[in-house]
Amino acid sequence: MEIQKLYDIDDIEFEDITIGLVRLVKNIPDHEFFYKINKNSDLTFSRIKDLVYHGSYYDYHFPRFEAYHKFTKTCFTFISNQSSESKQKKQQTELFSEEENIKFLLNNQVEVEYILHSSEQFPDFSVILLPENLVFPIQDYTLSSDEELYQIIQYYE
């Protein structure tokens, strides 16, 4: 028995998603930052499988950390904006290739250390108690469905 196609993928309207941009006051390692969050909050973030971006010349790895809120059943994910590791796939033969061994998910926001994503359609990032002396206030940022980061987040969700 064949499954009937109920909708046309081209007719689906994708909604924008809101992410949080997290900027640190000072540069500290991931493990120290998440230790301080876990100590102050009822959320327990742990490292999960890296987000992998496949470029033409490099494969980039971006660390991800995830926690679930007990009462709201919301999943919160921190994704590092800067790649922690890059593996070269082939030699660059072009002189002015735009691909380097370090990549940012948000090229226009290189001062952002983490991208915060929630499983909720209208996320409330205030439930995450961030250390006040370590983090600037979280900035909301809207991604439209035609942006590459939107597609990446949807793939890993």
By the 10 Å C-beta count (0-12 exposed, 13-18 middle, 19+ buried), 118 is classed as buried
Rounded to two decimals, the pTM is 0.81
Distance CA 73, CA 89 (A): 39
Distance CA 153, CA 110 (A): 18
Cα–Cα distance measured from residue 41 to residue 127, given in angstroms and rounded to the nearest whole number: 8
| Residue-level pLDDT at 5 | 41
Measured from the Cβ of residue 139, the count of other Cβ atoms closer than 10 Å reads: 14
Q: What is the pLDDT along the chain (157 residues), one digit of tens a residue?
A: 344 444 444 444 457 888 999 999 999 999 999 999 998 888 899 999 999 999 888 899 999 999 998 887 889 999 999 999 999 888 877 766 677 888 999 988 999 999 999 988 777 888 888 888 899 999 999 988 888 888 888 877 6
3-state SS, the chain, equals: CCCCCCCCHHHCCCCCEEEEEECECCCCCHHHHHHHHHHHCCCCCEEEEEEEEECCCEEEEEEEEEEECCCCCCEEEEEECECCEEEECCCCCCCCCCCCCCCECCCCCCCCCEEEEECCCCCCHHHCCCCCCCECCCEEEEECCCCHHHHHHHHHC
Q: Any idea where the domains of the chain sit in the sequence?
A: 19-155
